[in-house]
Structure 1
Amino acid sequence: MNIELKRDGNGRIFSHVRQIWLHETPEERVRQEYLRTLVNEYGYSLGQIAEEMAVVERGSSKARADFLIWRTPEDKASGLKPLIVVECKADNVTIDQSTYTQGSNYAQYTGARFFVTHNHRETKYFKVDHARMAPNFDEIEDIPHADATSKEIDALIARLKTFKEDEFADLLGRCHDIIRNREHLDPAAAFDEIAKILFVKTGLERRLRQGHTRRNLFSTEFVEEQRKIYGDPVDTLFRETKAEYRADFIFQNDEKINLKYATVIAIVKELERYNLSDTSEDIKGIAFERFLGRTFRGEIGQFFTPRPIVEFMVRMLNPREGDIVCDPASGSGGFLIRFFEMVRQQIMADADREYQTYREATEADISLTEADRAHLLSERYSEIQQSLDPSIEGSRMWKLSNRCIYGTDANDRMARTSKMNMIMHGDGHGGVHHHNGFLNVNGIFEERFDIILTNPPFGASVEPTDVVLDGDIHISPDVERLYEERYGEPYKLARRKVNAVKGQPIATLFQLPKKNSGKVSKVKTEILFIERCLDLLKPGGRLGIVLPEGIFNNPSLAYVREFVEDRAKILAVVSLPQETFMSSGASVKASLLFLRKFDEQERADFNAKKVAVQIETESKYADEITAACVRLEAAISAAKKSRDAVARKTAQKNLTTYQKTMNERIRLEARTLLKERFDYPVFMYEAEHVGITATAEADDNELYPNPRVPTNVDKTALELFREFEKDPTPFFV
């Protein structure tokens, strides 16, 4: 038996369970649409379902479950315990822990073994263990279908949906070892094959979730069956999944899964019982990067920013809807993913508030009939839903996914990994490219970004022989036109800039590399990234960057610090423990630098003061310098007249040395005076515990509020920084 949604054209929707017409509020629409899923896709009959049924007395009011479902109509008629409780929410209501607790309570009251929380944003399934104290529920991958046997129900209960990051990291490690041992591939090539299979699995899981199909296509049983039709069913699935993302160039058109069938089956067997698409982003992200760190430590030189550091840095810069972010050394995409999640949560919460405010206003309007109220709520609901629909160009979520997130990585494996990682987290992958982070590409060019978050590679250098090649900057004419239309004149200017230096050293694009006789010298990669990030920021844009501590305290790098101070206000410097990056294979002690690029007014103020102190300091020494130069030049003239070459050379050297010494004295005194005239407070913090040990184990974390704040820490670094922003005075008392 199948049922269809029935509407009468007057703003009412039909309840098949209760056999009555109801005003179609957004809440009622979600409920009746999910009833259709329960009947048409799970196979339950209307005789097995009760709707809006009281589950417990609460004083003068009653708690009502959206649906109760029994194993059979006879069980329902006999008053036996139901099997499943369903709690529905309107799409403009965020399902959170309170919803899960409500569903659990209803299951507890009724004795149900399962409960479901549902709206179109999220559907989750839980098992309830009535022998346990509360909280006594665990998330699972699905609820039973109507014809499920007791054995199938027990098997479903045994399959927990989520798993811990250690388990996931170990799982990926086992898959990696299977490929290396059976196929004798190097670690990087083995990872590429795992990436393809994970890509297939997540694609199939999306289809499974959207269609509520009972058949798990990513299983050894299904693959063995399909082998009778296709010679290589997993590679066939890979081609189909790859086609969905053809425009994103995640994989080459001719790329295929290069594994023996027996190896593929072994990998599928390891992965088939886990649902990766619905596993917590935190668990998946931490585990994935932990696996990458274990696999590639010291082999391809890729270091990954620990999640607690990512979380802290993103929170410090406090992203908001409309901010455009870039990571020019994006690695596995950790910063971009967290930015996306944080802004998405803000958008959803704002939509929730907007709808609830409107709902309260309509409920308070006593002049409205129930039909009018339902009609108004449905209209407002539809408007808000459209603003959240990522498939509608121009919607809030579409803008976030397609116009606000950009990244690039010079390593093609990392660029691909970050794209896949973002797809699994909800999207934003379209702005991520395999490209040299120092060069303008597509939407990544100067003065474009509100926020830069990055952990650039340390220790390497950009050599004078690293030149801008045609392949680095060439794009097809149609793509060029697309970006010219999208970004206008600033993009054209950015393209002209890189085209002008084709064939020349990359460092010629920057000011920081020292130049000898007009030629650029070798420069540390992290130093060049500092300038690149400042260039990419809009006036007033914010930067969070991981840097080796030598940048902050090495006397020979004072010119780098002055370069930064001339262009931005330093907001905070947070020193990290030595072991922070050891689990990723890096032993360097690092700090986090947060700054805000000068806006137009600050830049004008700074430049004016810089000129003023320079003139003031030069004036202070003008008479002294004039007198000394007259004396020294006289000595040169005297030596020339006496034809004493040695004396002349000595006198000339004395003049040059004096001028150089006085220029440096004036520069340093002017710099000191400038700091006095352009003075502002900087937040400084030295952290001892940042959430990760040298062996990648979870540790106490004093950076931001979390369950593992050390007992001796009253306020975390983030909380102190927020207080400092409001009023730094108490910090200097």
Structure 2
Amino acid sequence: MKASQYIDEIFGHPDIKHGLTVFNQPELQPLNLVSKIDISKREDGKIVIKCLKRQKELAAKPEEIVRQLFLAYVRDYLKYPLKQVTVEETIQMGSDDSKRADIVVFTDDTCTRKYIIFEIKKPDAETGVEQLQSYLNATGVHFGAWSNGKDITFQLREESPETKGEPYYYRDIPRLPKKGEALDDVLKPLTKKDLRPIQNLKDTIKRLEDTALANAGVNAFDELFKLFFAKLHDEFDPKKNDDSPMSFRVPKADPETVYERINGLFQEAKNRPGWQGIFDADEVLKLKDDALIYCAAALEPLRFHDADLDVIDAAFEYLINPEQKGAKGQYFTPRMVVDMAVKMIDPQVNEKVIDPACGSAGFLIHTIKYVRDAQGWTDNRDVYRYANDYIYAVDFDDKLKKVAKVMMLIAGDGKSNVFSVDSLDYRKWARSEAASRIGPFKRDIKDGDFDAVLTNPPFAGKITGKEQLSVFELYDLRQSGKLADDEDEADEDEKPKAKRNVNSMKRDILFIERCLRFLKPGGRMAIVLPQGNLNNIGTKALREWIMQKGRILAVVGLNVNTFKPFTGTKTSVVFLQKWGGIAGKPIDDYLIFMATSERSGKNNSGDYVNLADKEGHLIDREGKILDPLKEKPIVDSDLSEIVEAFQQFRDKEGIKFY
């Protein structure tokens, strides 16, 4: 059996926190480091690995395999001979000599002057980097690296410029020095091709919040977002090619010079054609001094352009205060739900799509990817044209508008169609750019010109005020007494209710009507709703009203864990097609596709659960064991099966979308 097969067996279990993706980075691929380690299975069935340094067999635990690969990395990539390397090196911490560094690189063959320290055993960045920094502090070593095999960070210990000693400061650096190199070589500007893929931006942000931002006196979201924006501007510079040096970097200079460089990029980004309006004209970077150096240095080696959007979205989801969003009933839609909705709506290349409560623009980004893949586009200009001509996003939250615009920049640059306005307030809508770009919002206008709507509107809160409500048909239904607004108003007695003096209505109910108005006749929509809207007796009139306006294509009940850890609200995704156009005239008798998700892809705590076989090995949907060096785990959700079943239902029923 090959070494790679033993590695698959060891790293294939979903509980393993170490990984191997670090060793598949472009600069390391030619070295094929996995082929440099000696791993085998003994007669007793135990898998062992031979230590490159100590030349003895060790139990092939995940962290040991990662360590052996880093020994090969030190020898073959950094070019340090193994005679200048030790493992399990004692680190004296005052009177405590129990600490052991996983790998230490020395400058000499007698191993007396420590030069680089590696921390590998700690699987998460927060505790791993903290442990590494304590070793650097105790030994006086300047260079260090923490990695769990999935992610990596390189650290530099710097002395106080005032004391030329303690207190020490730590910052990320783009890479470690190779044999014969010094700090000046390491701090040379990275080129575009040197930037490495983002593996876990969320953990990087957590680390920055706990260190640089903890006492910086600034809003973490606002300032980090400015840094993301400046870095994207640098990466999107049309004058740069793969060999061009990047401008977003932390040079060996005083804090004022670093601030001028990074804030200068931010000012350029704000004024870049097509990028205006995301930030105010007079906005400046408030993050300064060591906090700026630390944050900018952590982002410097990462490549945001063409990044894994799920990784970026997870970071933004963490960065936006979840309590603030929860109070508004707003929750980021899990990507397996987004993927299901997009595939069932099946958007086409010449169709206009909108999300009127876009959040981080997850539905629209997946729409762009769906159409891009269907068309086989490899030129980003095709994606750019499509996004700018056909993709539209709206959200009343200014922070989420910024997130959506930046996510659209990363996905393909459709940010010019992201609008900050309340989709349910016709007065604010009339005063916004959305009125001319998307279409007016008036009571007598029942049809829009969008082919598809995909959205997860906020559940919490009500719209108050008769003037604002008067534009909605459902307001009339509510006033008539036929439509109950809350479950406690439900009554099995179906006699007409007395007219009511109504001054408020729930947001999610009004969003149903608003979304239908965006659609052209024959257009279709997917909307996430609380199950009460469909199940409560008091909302029978709502169901009847919906069926007058369009055909209910499908109702997919989501598992209660789907939106955890933020909420355990029971939800469904409702799929509708507006009567008229290709949908034809209203009909009364038709089948509705009904499904209930039993595997949400999350456990009771809201942690993602990955697809695995009976032995615990991570697998793909065909049952093949994944290659941990190259393939990402797959979330164990049955929503992809529901998509396939719906597509068969649609074909059988002859339902046409276009």
TM-score (norm 1): 0.54
Who is 2:297 aligned against? 269
> C-alpha offsets along residues 631-665 of structure 1, whole Å, 9 cap, x if unaligned?
xxxxxxxxxxxxxxxxxxxxxxxxxxxxxxxxxxx
Contact 2:345/2:452 (<8 A) preserved: yes
**Cα gap change, 1:218 to 1:291, in 2 (>3 Å):** same
- Please tell me whether residue 565 in structure 1 is matched to residue 547 in structure 2: yes
Which secondary structure state, in structure 2, belongs to the residue aligned with residue 453 of structure 1? strand
Pairing partner for 2:208 from 170, 175, 180: 175
Contact 2:559/2:599 (<8 A) preserved: yes
**Cα gap change, 1:595 to 1:509, in 2 (>3 Å):** same
Who is 1:718 aligned against? 643
What residue identity is the alignment partner of 2:316? F
Contact 2:259/2:292 (<8 A) preserved: no
Following TM superposition, by how much is the alpha carbon of 1:269 offset from its aligned partner in structure 2, in angstroms? 2.3
Pairing partner for 2:591 from 672, 677, 681: 681
**Cα gap change, 1:520 to 1:403, in 2 (>3 Å):** farther
Who is 2:247 aligned against? 217
Who is 1:409 aligned against? 395
What residue identity is the alignment partner of 1:426? G
**Cα gap change, 1:285 to 1:679, in 2 (>3 Å):** same
Which secondary structure state, in structure 2, belongs to the residue aligned with residue 565 of structure 1? helix
Contact 1:568/1:598 (<8 A) preserved: yes
Contact 2:527/2:575 (<8 A) preserved: yes
Pairing partner for 1:184 from 217, 226, 230: 217
Who is 1:447 aligned against? 448
Pairing partner for 2:31 from 109, 129, 134: 129
What residue identity is the alignment partner of 2:30? V
Contact 1:208/1:216 (<8 A) preserved: no
Following TM superposition, by how much is the alpha carbon of 1:125 offset from its aligned partner in structure 2, in angstroms? 6.0
Give the distance between the partners of 2:205 and 2:413, measured in 1 at CA.
22
Give the distance between the partners of 2:577 and 2:180, measured in 1 at CA.
61
- Please tell me whether residue 337 in structure 1 is matched to residue 377 in structure 2: no
**Cα gap change, 1:149 to 1:134, in 2 (>3 Å):** closer
What residue identity is the alignment partner of 1:171? T
Contact 1:418/1:429 (<8 A) preserved: yes
Following TM superposition, by how much is the alpha carbon of 1:318 offset from its aligned partner in structure 2, in angstroms? 1.1
Give the distance between the partners of 2:227 and 2:36, measured in 1 at CA.
38
Aligned residue runs from structure 1 range 69-108, under 5 A: none
Give the distance between the partners of 1:299 and 1:184, measured in 2 at CA.
25
Which secondary structure state, in structure 2, belongs to the residue aligned with residue 569 of structure 1? strand
Who is 1:599 aligned against? 580
Pairing partner for 1:523 from 500, 505, 521: 505
Following TM superposition, by how much is the alpha carbon of 1:207 offset from its aligned partner in structure 2, in angstroms? 3.2
Pairing partner for 1:196 from 226, 232, 255: 226
Which secondary structure state, in structure 2, belongs to the residue aligned with residue 699 of structure 1? coil
Contact 1:126/1:139 (<8 A) preserved: no
**Cα gap change, 1:536 to 1:298, in 2 (>3 Å):** closer
Pairing partner for 1:506 from 456, 460, 468: 468
Q: What do you get for the CA RMSD once the two structures are aligned?
A: 3.9
Give the distance between the partners of 1:283 and 1:696, measured in 2 at CA.
17
Who is 1:586 aligned against? 567
Task: In structure 2, list runs of 5 or more residues that go unmatched.
Answer: 1-22, 38-68, 74-148, 153-176, 440-446, 481-498, 613-619, 623-632
Contact 2:597/2:639 (<8 A) preserved: no
> C-alpha offsets along residues 363-389 of structure 1, whole Å, 9 cap, x if unaligned?
xxxxxxxxxxxxxxxxxxxxxxxxx67
What residue identity is the alignment partner of 1:432? V
**Cα gap change, 1:684 to 1:506, in 2 (>3 Å):** same
Give the distance between the partners of 1:556 and 1:216, measured in 2 at CA.
60
- Please tell me whether residue 259 in structure 1 is matched to residue 287 in structure 2: yes
Give the distance between the partners of 2:538 and 2:409, measured in 1 at CA.
43
What residue identity is the alignment partner of 1:190? A
Give the distance between the partners of 1:455 and 1:253, measured in 2 at CA.
31
Who is 1:33 aligned against? none
> C-alpha offsets along residues 261-314 of structure 1, whole Å, 9 cap, x if unaligned?
222112112222322224323332334334436585547754111111111111
Give the distance between the partners of 1:212 and 1:152, measured in 2 at CA.
23
- Please tell me whether residue 422 in structure 1 is matched to residue 457 in structure 2: no
What residue identity is the alignment partner of 2:260? D
Name the stretch that deviates more: 276-285 or 547-556.
276-285
**Cα gap change, 1:133 to 1:564, in 2 (>3 Å):** farther
Contact 2:354/2:364 (<8 A) preserved: yes
Following TM superposition, by how much is the alpha carbon of 1:204 offset from its aligned partner in structure 2, in angstroms? 1.5
What residue identity is the alignment partner of 1:509? V
* Higher helix proportion: 1
**Cα gap change, 1:160 to 1:215, in 2 (>3 Å):** closer
**Cα gap change, 1:347 to 1:240, in 2 (>3 Å):** same
What residue identity is the alignment partner of 1:169? K
- What percentage of aligned pairs have identical amino acids? 29
Give the distance between the partners of 1:220 and 1:299, measured in 2 at CA.
39
Contact 1:416/1:434 (<8 A) preserved: no
Which secondary structure state, in structure 1, belongs to the residue aligned with residue 601 of structure 2? strand
Contact 1:574/1:591 (<8 A) preserved: yes
What residue identity is the alignment partner of 2:597? A
Task: In structure 1, list runs of 5 or more residues that go unmatched.
Answer: 1-113, 117-123, 142-147, 353-387, 391-395, 466-504, 607-677
Q: Which has the higher contact order (CA 8 A, sep 6+)?
A: 2
Number of matched residues? 441
**Cα gap change, 1:134 to 1:574, in 2 (>3 Å):** farther
- Please tell me whether residue 434 in structure 1 is matched to residue 420 in structure 2: yes
Give the distance between the partners of 2:266 and 2:610, measured in 1 at CA.
42
Pairing partner for 2:515 from 533, 552, 571: 533
> C-alpha offsets along residues 610-636 of structure 1, whole Å, 9 cap, x if unaligned?
xxxxxxxxxxxxxxxxxxxxxxxxxxx
Following TM superposition, by how much is the alpha carbon of 1:462 offset from its aligned partner in structure 2, in angstroms? 0.6
Contact 1:452/1:544 (<8 A) preserved: yes
Who is 2:313 aligned against? 285
What residue identity is the alignment partner of 1:592? V
Give the distance between the partners of 1:519 and 1:424, measured in 2 at CA.
48
Give the distance between the partners of 1:515 and 1:299, measured in 2 at CA.
27
Give the distance between the partners of 1:149 and 1:526, measured in 2 at CA.
58
Contact 1:326/1:336 (<8 A) preserved: yes
**Cα gap change, 1:283 to 1:418, in 2 (>3 Å):** same
**Cα gap change, 1:590 to 1:266, in 2 (>3 Å):** same
**Cα gap change, 1:115 to 1:558, in 2 (>3 Å):** closer
Which secondary structure state, in structure 1, belongs to the residue aligned with residue 370 of structure 2? helix
Following TM superposition, by how much is the alpha carbon of 1:427 offset from its aligned partner in structure 2, in angstroms? 1.1
Contact 1:331/1:418 (<8 A) preserved: yes
Give the distance between the partners of 2:342 and 2:323, measured in 1 at CA.
26
Contact 2:554/2:574 (<8 A) preserved: yes
What residue identity is the alignment partner of 1:402? N
Which secondary structure state, in structure 2, belongs to the residue aligned with residue 588 of structure 1? coil
TM-score (norm 2): 0.60
- Please tell me whether residue 348 in structure 1 is matched to residue 383 in structure 2: no
Following TM superposition, by how much is the alpha carbon of 1:219 offset from its aligned partner in structure 2, in angstroms? 2.4
Contact 1:577/1:589 (<8 A) preserved: yes
Name the stretch that deviates more: 543-552 or 520-529.
520-529
**Cα gap change, 1:331 to 1:293, in 2 (>3 Å):** same
Which secondary structure state, in structure 2, belongs to the residue aligned with residue 582 of structure 1? coil
What residue identity is the alignment partner of 1:161? R
Which secondary structure state, in structure 2, belongs to the residue aligned with residue 552 of structure 1? helix
Contact 2:609/2:636 (<8 A) preserved: no
**Cα gap change, 1:679 to 1:701, in 2 (>3 Å):** farther
Give the distance between the partners of 2:180 and 2:597, measured in 1 at CA.
53
